[in-house]
Structure 1
């Protein structure tokens, strides 16, 4: 007989404690082996489900019976947002929508993020990368790799793509940090979101009167999105376009420095870089607190009845280490073929900018390792500050020398 979710008082919270900065909490692997769908208590006290299996995660992410609508979502326990009202997504925030609204937005953007379009950006991304490495070399060791390399490169790339003035980076990066912080109160979260929206509203108004050669101008020239919608799309692309890749560049470098055999293999054979990027994405999986879906109807999966309205959180980090899909998934091996990983999600909400992120990582890691063959940590590994307090995992700082 299928099991339903028990009372919330009997349900555990999402495990958060890590014994290794690169590994998910150990309890998640145990859950995957024993109960790949297990009850989970949410921040508002609601009981729902946690998925740790690769196969079940893919099934749910591709199933239209599970909704991403903003107003139906519940947050896992680490978020401190008691009392935050769940409302329908604002115009342009298609990440919090289902079809057909989501489809309408996604259709407007897909052609701008194809593999071919992103490859056209490679020479410019390579120049930006070399310029920042030049600056690092002039500065001399030690430097913080996050502030001097990992954060500015994707920030500058997404700014140029959208038409955002790079000199405004301090402004939008600050709003983004508050928006993604697990320590933010509801008021702080809403204020950061509104500030980002106001900033993009200003940009859209400026592009109306002074068009440029950028994506915001292109979207405004189309007939299917109004100014509010373009601004909302811009917020999503600006936040996701710099925050995720920045954390992969920082955390991925930290992981390679702590796995010298893998670093040696990559230096010896640079042709492994594409494999290495996919393996780092799989192994590190910086989206560590979700995503979450809401069941639109009763669904039975793997002996569990997920009732209509039940929230379901998918542990992408644990699914990406599932031995049923990835042999020796607990290990970092740049020789692995990690294709099919879920670091960018799956289904209709799979990351729109994944090809851009791959290119930035491939160029960034390769150039960094080539330019600084003696790269090493400038502090003890335990002194590297991890982003356990953020909804996107990574390192706050990464002091390095060479």
Structure 2
């Protein structure tokens, strides 16, 4: 499947508001105003700047994500350039099951149960001790949230010998390519040099995975070696080439998104100081606070792509075979049909499921691990620094498409307040 630029645009010109032509990739870095207007005026719209359809309402995202008759997972040209194809987000059928089992098993609820206290909490406590040496100031994303995220996820796959700073560098370098969306009219990438850092990280990661595959397959912590050398369904040894694209996705989304879940929850709570104080005083409120944080500022704002399997009409729009549908989960999580004043963080919001982890067969494999990392991380942070606050000289902002989260979290705390 390839992104379509024919047929759909002609009908879009007739049905969609003209202001959609003015949407730019740059404007989508701060997407809330645009996606709110899309939900209200054109919940299914062809976006010329992206070369894809965007589904921005809750109902549409749910429908397309679960409609296997009309839509299938696909690797967009950008995802193929960055990760390779097939991968766990683009495969279907037996191949998808095979790849999903490979990357999901180490981070399943059952697999991580014993890691929460034995690995995650000691990691958090060690990072807290480093924060104590910083004179009452920190940039939480760099100093705490990203390190606990990358360490916890990578250790679940047995990457104990990779330094935390290297893991952070890997996902940031992969991110530069995954956000290099600008295209020329002929479909080529407008900034081919923008993939240089991503290519470097990909080769470094591949070399590391090849090394792990050669190590002791009896080591229960060596997930990669055991997967490679296990007998596949056709009786053949698995190839490292079959695993690399999916592991690259894990090393981008998996390493990044728990950190963003921490950041979004902390950011959201700071917008409601009385709710922040309630959570600091009562850690049993943290699961609800994290769920609301994920809804309020979904780390994966614009989800994986789907492609039309044949021509069809959806919400009065003519969709052509091969057209790419972008599921904008971050927008769906603000849909006023299900969330009153969805733009506000509210710990006391009436419980309703969110789509921060997607939906259906391609939902995020880290849906069990991510909230646990966030819970442990915030428990330890609030226990250590109950008077933590945002630095008033550097207020929090957020940005990003398709990934969205706080850009920096500069805070103040008094280590003597216990």
TM-score scaled to structure 2, two decimals?
0.81
Deviation at 1:292, TM superposition (A): 2.8
Query: Contact 1:320/1:342 (CA < 8 Å) preserved in 2?
Result: yes
Deviation at 1:331, TM superposition (A): 2.1
Which of these residues, 139, 146, 155, is aligned with residue 151 of structure 1? Answer: 146
SS of the residue corresponding to residue 294 of structure 2 reads helix
Pairs within 5 Å for 1:3-402: 5-7=8-10, 12=21, 14=23, 24-43=31-50, 46=51, 48-64=52-68, 65-70=70-75, 73=76, 90=84, 93-123=87-117, 124-165=119-160, 167-181=162-176, 182=179, 185-189=191-195, 192-193=198-199, 195-211=201-217, 212=219, 213-224=221-232, 225-382=238-395, 384=396, 386-388=398-400, 391-402=402-413
Per mean C-alpha deviation after superposition, the further-off stretch among 60-69 and 217-226 is 217-226
Deviation at 1:190, TM superposition (A): 5.8
CA distance in 2, matches of 1:61, 1:365: 32
Query: Against the structure 1 CA distance between its residues 209 and 362, is the aligned structure 2 distance closer, same or farther, given a 3 Å change threshold?
Result: closer
Q: For structure 2, which runs of at least 5 residues remain unmatched after alignment?
A: 1-6, 182-190, 233-237, 414-418
Q: For structure 1, which runs of at least 5 residues remain unmatched after alignment?
A: 76-83
SS of the residue corresponding to residue 240 of structure 1 reads helix
CA distance in 2, matches of 1:117, 1:243: 20
TM-score scaled to structure 1, two decimals?
0.84
Query: Contact 1:279/1:337 (CA < 8 Å) preserved in 2?
Result: no
SS of the residue corresponding to residue 53 of structure 2 reads strand
Per mean C-alpha deviation after superposition, the further-off stretch among 115-124 and 287-296 is 287-296
CA distance in 2, matches of 1:381, 1:288: 24
Deviation at 1:194, TM superposition (A): 5.5
CA distance in 2, matches of 1:157, 1:172: 11
CA distance in 1, matches of 2:39, 2:101: 36
Query: Contact 1:92/1:105 (CA < 8 Å) preserved in 2?
Result: no
Deviation at 1:165, TM superposition (A): 4.3
SS of the residue corresponding to residue 54 of structure 2 reads strand
Per mean C-alpha deviation after superposition, the further-off stretch among 276-285 and 367-376 is 367-376
Q: What do residues 178-237 of structure 1 show as CA deviations (whole Å, max 9, x unaligned)?
A: 332335833442651453244233333244134542322331342223222234433222
SS of the residue corresponding to residue 307 of structure 2 reads strand
CA distance in 1, matches of 2:399, 2:297: 13
CA distance in 2, matches of 1:275, 1:167: 33
CA-atom RMSD in angstroms: 3.0
Query: Contact 1:275/1:336 (CA < 8 Å) preserved in 2?
Result: no
Deviation at 1:17, TM superposition (A): 7.5
Aligned pair count?
Answer: 381
Q: What do residues 25-63 of structure 1 show as CA deviations (whole Å, max 9, x unaligned)?
A: 2232232123221231144xx4x4221110111000111
In structure 2, the residue matched to 1:79 is none
Query: Contact 2:72/2:309 (CA < 8 Å) preserved in 1?
Result: yes
Per mean C-alpha deviation after superposition, the further-off stretch among 4-13 and 196-205 is 4-13
CA distance in 2, matches of 1:359, 1:159: 14
In structure 1, the residue matched to 2:4 is none
Deviation at 1:245, TM superposition (A): 1.2
SS of the residue corresponding to residue 96 of structure 1 reads coil
Per mean C-alpha deviation after superposition, the further-off stretch among 123-132 and 164-173 is 164-173
SS of the residue corresponding to residue 67 of structure 1 reads strand
Query: Contact 2:83/2:246 (CA < 8 Å) preserved in 1?
Result: no
CA distance in 1, matches of 2:351, 2:230: 38
Query: Contact 2:109/2:368 (CA < 8 Å) preserved in 1?
Result: yes
User: After the TM superposition, which parts of structure 1 deviate over 6 Å for at least 4 consecutive aligned residues?
Assistant: 15-19
In structure 2, the residue matched to 1:78 is none
Query: Against the structure 1 CA distance between its residues 310 and 179, is the aligned structure 2 distance closer, same or farther, given a 3 Å change threshold?
Result: same
SS of the residue corresponding to residue 300 of structure 1 reads strand
Query: Against the structure 1 CA distance between its residues 54 and 206, is the aligned structure 2 distance closer, same or farther, given a 3 Å change threshold?
Result: closer
